[in-house]
Structure 1
């Protein structure tokens, strides 16, 4: 077997031998432990060498007798591989940029949809507004239920002609009795006040007490309304009226505003 036959190991590993040379080398490989060992060591790098064609392999064989040619060949192979890797890197980078652009657009769209307020995603349904149930209405800006919430119950607006105190009451019938939500304005201070339930049988019950600061509520000094809630076990049908009273230091009460039910 000639030296050239031994040099067929790399060509055989890369599969660049023709059919006749392949058969010849395999016959040689069966009896040459040196070529078999060399072939085994080349298995891990076959993938790296797969880019070398038959012409380059022939040139490599010739370099065994010409060291200068070997150096030139290695330089050429390395340069070719660098160019190939560079082209692959450019192609990969271009693909990443293109994908990143599309992904960025998609991500921006998702963010815009996620951050958009609900009325941007789905516009309000046109049509007649819902009719509030009996005894309810949307409160004004200075009344209970401010902010568009509807106050529950029957509404009663009263301004006392003597004291000038203005009141708005919402009376609600409950299983436990009666609940009342109310607001007061034009209520000067300082003073102590209380809310009294006057029943139809002439009995009374104090269901809430509070203090009024010097600036009062719903006044020029303090335009904020006083908004309170209270409850009684007395059913609505048994109530004649509610009365807001002012209590002096001696415990004597005087009416500020009376709200018939």
Structure 2
């Protein structure tokens, strides 16, 4: 085979030979170990030059007779190779980032320490009711709000009915403000809050109905919370009593605060 036939290795590798020349080269390749070895070494080069089309290769053939064209072709090839290397570097960097992220997730799933996740701080909300059926204590935020409830606190539990209450009595110009929290109060029923004065007179200052689930019970863990007022000053109050009223209007005590 002629020297020109040997030089067809690069053109064949890049796929720029026409069908007749490619067939002729393949027949030669079957009997020429030198061309076969050279073709094998050109496989990586083909990947780098894959962006150069047939017209560029044809122009390359003309560089044998046109030095200026050779210089322009070499510049174009170098530029294309630089772009290819940059793309390869970017692809490698992206793969490293993705692999690193997946490795962190896998480590967490296999029992490693997970990466700390930023968490929002607790947000305080104004409770509408206490979370349990127990009466409040002096450190509780209060009924229906974040601020401490105004007034002196009094706790009571009725041994017979089991109803529990916490009441706050605040002195006002008009008399006394009474804030009430009730739990372990079963339903359904109608209740009322009665102020008993030291002169033995009484006054109903609030009434309400209790649903079937009650308040502060197993069915409804939220206690009942309400606020009422009386014209009687704190010094004149003997006791405060929550009463249950039946269908006939007969009242029976459920829980009494008498340590005023």
TM-score range normalised by the length of the shorter chain:
0.3 to 0.5
Greater Rg, structure 1 or structure 2? 1
TM-score normalized with structure 2 length: 0.47
Structure with greater proportional helix content? 1
